[in-house]
Chain A
Amino acid sequence: MQAAALRRVVITGIGALTPYGLGRDALLEGLREGRRAVAPLPPPLHRLPPGYGGRVTAEWKDLRPLPGGKGHRPATMTRYTFLACGAIGTALQDAGIDPEAGDPERRGLYTGSYCNMDSMDKYVRFAAVVADRDLFADRKFRIDDSRVMIAMKRFTGFDYLKLMNNMPTAHGGIQAGCRGPCNTFLGHAAAGTQALGRAFRVVQDDLADVMVAGGVGSSVHEHLMMVKGHRGQLSSADADPPEASRPFDRGATGQVPGEAGAYLVLEEREHALARGARIYGEVRGFSDRFAPPEGRHGVPSPGAAVRSARDALAEAGIGPEALDLVMATGLSRADMDATEARQVGAVLGDRAGDVEWAAVSPFFGFSEAATGPLSAAIALLAMEAGMVPGAPHTRDPIPEWRLPVRPEPHAAAVRLAWINTVSPEGGCASLVLTSA
């Protein structure tokens, strides 16, 4: 209803902290080489099946030179906040934005995140201390309230504060000097795309000129690995780690744990041009939906995701015939891959047989809410480099997957890309990007 007044939103910065390293150049280089970053996990995670995953190896000291990086206090931050701060710093650097310059009131930050957890050991130990001793020997747990403050001696206030779900955004907002809209969207793969899409709306609606938006996720975490492994949703421990993540392949055995942070700098087009910013591309359409899974641990039917994608394409004013690249979620879980394949097929129709596609997961594993922003970053780099990373492990596609499979990185002209994120919990979001 406000179409005539909408402002155009371009992307002027790409930030990433991935198993490839820190920043967009590391990401591009790794993709060009077709490098697989899934590897055996270090202790103690190596004991937890599947024993491998895509893990970020950068450290806090590596983040210090980044914009706003000197103020980090690791003791007050979780792994999720670390991933956010690294990706936000590189996004600012890439966009040429000084957090202490410009108008902070017109700058905001949106984050997508599944959760914000610390080490599970900490809570298990806390529980062991507060357990009623009379029942402990029988392996029954009841809290002895008189022991809670004994357990608390090991904790500081920041041990609690840092777990709040808005903390990656709060730290990131301080780092990026944002006094405009800041918020956190909680959810699985779709949450990072929702953060991008909602940030797109904020700039369209003239509530900010610059939005740093993206997502973080770490499923290389003992807690998530226990739950997902318990339900048989993780890949087989017998698989060859670098080749374990096999989206849309008959040989897929489950999702591969991964972690990453990825943020883009979204900017009002005239604002970007006025400061001479490099423009990677433009956000042209966004839509999200929700459909409950069928059964407690089932997956949603693809209808809502189809409508989400069609809405995003309609907003962009294009049909599937114009698409050059689909960035799929590709969880490498048979149930979700079949659902996504049906959705993508329904959206593309006759085009399904000749559209380029890729997914993040074969390279890094599944990084939850970072998936959408990483996919968007890869699409933008594909536009710039004229290169699509390919699908290295999809050798025997499931029948629902009709898109052509090319395993190696290869040259391709990409002008229009659809970022598709779907999740077992039912959230889904689509974003349409065009080249500069």
Chain B
Amino acid sequence: MERRRVVITGTGMVIPHGRDVEDVWRQIQAGQGKLHRIQGFDPVDMPTQIGGEVLYPVATPDEVGPYPVDSDALRYTVASAQDALAQAGLGRGGDPDRRAVMCATGIGPASLELFGEVAVRHFAPEDDPYADDLAGFYPAMQRDPVTEGLDGFYLDTATPALAVLLGAARAYNTASACASGSHVLADAAQAIRRGEVDVALAAGVCTAVNRAMIPGFSVLQALSRHNEAPEKASRPFDAERDGFVMSNGASALVLEGLDHALARGARILGELVGWGWSTDSYRLTDPHPEGVGMAQAMGRALADAAVDPDQVDYINAHGTSTAYNDAAETLAIKKAFGTDRAYHVPVSSTKSMFGHLIHAAGTTEAIVTLLAMRDGVLPPTINYEHPDPRCDLDYVPNRSRRADARTSVSNSFGFGGQNVSLVLKRWDG
């Protein structure tokens, strides 16, 4: 039986470059980075003082169904989903059981302000907060009004809000760290291919540029410390790379069964033809040094798509700008594509321009990959200045390049060793 084909009919994003997908794409083609010294707070004394923030107002409704849109995470997610649905020409309606939302949200606790409200109620300024056990304040806190907001620490309302926007009766939230965005795309596509649903909204969001996560990930030595030149700090595959640059943002894609999209006359933006999952089962913070899991994900995605490595015209790399990832990904591409072919496939990391959007990385990069194929322009890896002998592929350095790209791979690899690769095709009608 012929497999059901999965196409993309809507895209939306809120990232440091802007909210208008076409305008963002023009900036990316021009190799314009948007990373800067952090402005949302003063990163004084922090080892890492740079990031990518959304420094423009993002208009959204005040609430979606029963969910207040009251945080940056909600605003970015709702806005990107609204834009994706508008482009797809979809709103509420149809059979809710045939619509799904798969969303990747949250990187962990970041509600420092809420805990601050708790802290100033319990301590005096001169107290050593580490000298006291906090048990005494528990009962009082349970009655305190500030407690009402503490579920913002863990409760995901982005996924349900998107379900309300789409009118979907299927929704779930998954987490596989930096692979999450591609994971939800693969999950959504799998549900459509299986015939469980006709339409799926896949989205990811990251708001980790904050006072907790920036120093925290810096302590992990995952973040770049090129504070003197923020726009040059994200330098994937370059010999002087020293870590990734964290960014805030969200993005969303509307996926549909081809039959469903054609039947309603939707404009098709591209096709998701294959996907592959794997796990390193190695270490929490480092990828397998030989890129074993990464290669498996790519190999499985190509096999699932029935695409030969020779047919792949472009790879949008995970390319985080960390020493380990970029070297391992280079090795993995050689394993998955064969060394000869690997040297001839253009590979670029657009994280060099918008940084690492963590849970939204995979969804954002899938949109960029679709646009690259649509316009025949491969986005560059900017800040590529010093070749690293361990990273010796064609990284489309510094300038975008015209190319007739019909088939592309987009990679996402996460802390904890979870890997997802997608195979996308240009839609030629």
Chain B, residues 114-125, CB within 8 Å of chain A (1/0): the string is 011111111111
Which residues of the partner chain B approach A148 to less than 8 Å between Cβ atoms? Answer: 45-46, 211, 215
Which segment, of B141-149, B230-238, B311-319, B368-376, faces chain A?
B141-149
Q: Is the CB of B278 within 8 A of A47?
A: no
In whole Å, how far is B217's beta carbon from the nearest beta carbon of chain A?
Answer: 6
A416 within 8 A of B: no
* Residue B239 lies at the interface, judged by CB distance under 8 Å to chain A: no
Interface centre among A1, A139, A160, A171 (most CB of B within 10 A): A160
Contacts A43-B135, A167-B416 hold; do A157 and B174 have CB atoms under 8 A apart? Answer: no
Determine the chain A residues whose CB is within 8 A of the CB of B106 once the complex forms. 165, 186
By a CB distance below 8 angstroms, the chain A residues around B277 are 108, 180-183, 207
Q: Would you give the shortest CB distance from B404 to chain A, in whole angstroms? A: 33
A307 touches B169 (CB 8 A): yes
For residues 144 through 201 of chain B, which have their beta carbon under 8 Å from a beta carbon of chain A?
Answer: 144, 147-148, 150-151, 153-156, 160, 163-164, 168-177, 180, 183, 187, 190, 194-195
Residue A292 contacts which of B164, B280, B283, B415 (CB distance < 8 angstroms)? B164
Q: How many residues of A contact B (CB 8 A)?
A: 102
Contact A161 B281 (CB under 8 A): no
Contact mask for chain A residues 119-150; partner B; CB cutoff 8 A; 1 contact, 0 none: 01101111111110101110111110110110
Chain A residues with CB below 8 A from B194, complex form: 1-2, 201, 205
Cβ-defined contact, A290 with B216, below 8 A: no
- How far apart are A303's CB and chain B's nearest CB, in angstroms? 9
Binds B, one of A53-61, A221-229, A338-346, A396-404: A221-229
> Is the CB–CB distance between A178 and B279 below 8 Å?
yes
- Taking a contact as CB atoms under 8 Å apart, the answer to whether B415 and A128 are in contact is no
Minimal beta-carbon separation of A413 from chain B (angstroms): 33
B281 touches A47 (CB 8 A): no
- The CA-CA distance from A323 to B164 in the complex, in Å, is 33
List residues of chain B with CB within 8 A of the CB of A245: none
B302 to chain A, nearest CB (A): 15
Residue contact A179 to B280, C-beta cutoff 8 Å: yes
Q: Report B1-41 CB contacts with A as 1/0, cut-off 8 Å.
A: 10010000000000000000000000000000000000001
Which of B133, B281, B284 has the most chain A CB atoms inside 10 A of its CB?
Answer: B281
Docked pose: A127 CA to B177 CA in angstroms: 25
Decide: B108 and A178 in contact? CB cutoff 8 A: no
Q: Contacts A1-B1, A230-B147 known; A157 to B219 CB distance under 8 Å? A: yes
- Residues of B close to A156: CB separation below 8 A: 219
Among B44, B67, B116, B169, chain A packs the most CB atoms within 10 A around the CB of B116
| Interface contact tally, CB-CB below 8 A | 294
Provide the bound-state CA to CA distance between A133 and B283, in Å.
41
Verify if A8 is at the interface (C-beta below 8 Å from B): no
Q: Which of B138, B173, B190 contacts A48 (CB 8 A)?
A: B138
What CA separation (Å) do A230 and B261 show in the bound complex?
Answer: 47
Q: Chain A residues near B121 (CB, 8 Å)? A: 139
Verify A180–B220 contact, CB threshold 8 A. Answer: no
Contact assessment for B153 and A425 in the assembled complex, using a CB-CB cutoff below 8 Å? no
Query: How near does chain B come to A188, taking the closest CB pair, in angstroms?
Result: 9
Contact call A143/B174, Cβ cutoff below 8 A:
no
Interchain CB contact under 8 A, A145 and B44: yes
When the two chains form their complex, are residues A226 and B150 in contact, meaning their CB atoms are under 8 A apart?
A: yes
Instruction: Looking at the assembled complex, report how far the CB atom of A69 sits from the nearest CB atom of chain B, in whole angstroms.
Output: 15
* Known contacts A161-B285, A179-B293: A105-B216 contact under CB 8 Å: no
Kindly list chain A residues whose C-beta atoms are within 8 Å of the C-beta of B283.
Answer: 174
> Is the beta-carbon distance between B293 and A124 smaller than 8 angstroms?
no
Check: A427 CB closer than 8 A to any chain B CB: yes
Q: Is B43 an interface residue (CB 8 A)?
A: yes
Determine the distance from Cα of A194 to Cα of B170 in the docked complex, in whole angstroms.
11
Give bound CA distance, A294 to B219, whole Å. 43
Binding site for B on A (CB under 8 A): 1-2, 4-5, 43-45, 47-49, 76, 104-105, 108-109, 114-117, 120-121, 123-131, 133, 135-137, 139-143, 145-146, 148-149, 152, 154-161, 163-167, 169-171, 173-174, 177-187, 191, 194, 198, 201, 205, 207, 222-223, 225-227, 229-231, 288-296, 298, 304, 307, 425-427
Chain B positions within 8 Å of A, measured between CB atoms, are 1, 4, 41-46, 65-68, 97, 101, 105-109, 112-113, 115-125, 127, 129-130, 133-136, 138-139, 141-144, 147-148, 150-151, 153-156, 160, 163-164, 168-177, 180, 183, 187, 190, 194-195, 211-213, 215-217, 219-222, 277-285, 292-293, 296, 414-418
16 sampled A-B residue pairs with Cβ under 8 A:
A108-B277, A121-B133, A136-B123, A155-B216, A157-B219, A157-B222, A164-B416, A173-B281, A178-B281, A179-B278, A179-B293, A180-B279, A183-B187, A226-B141, A229-B142, A426-B160
Q: A1-B194, A165-B175 provided; 6 other pairs, C-beta below 8 A?
A: A47-B139, A128-B129, A155-B216, A179-B293, A179-B296, A426-B171
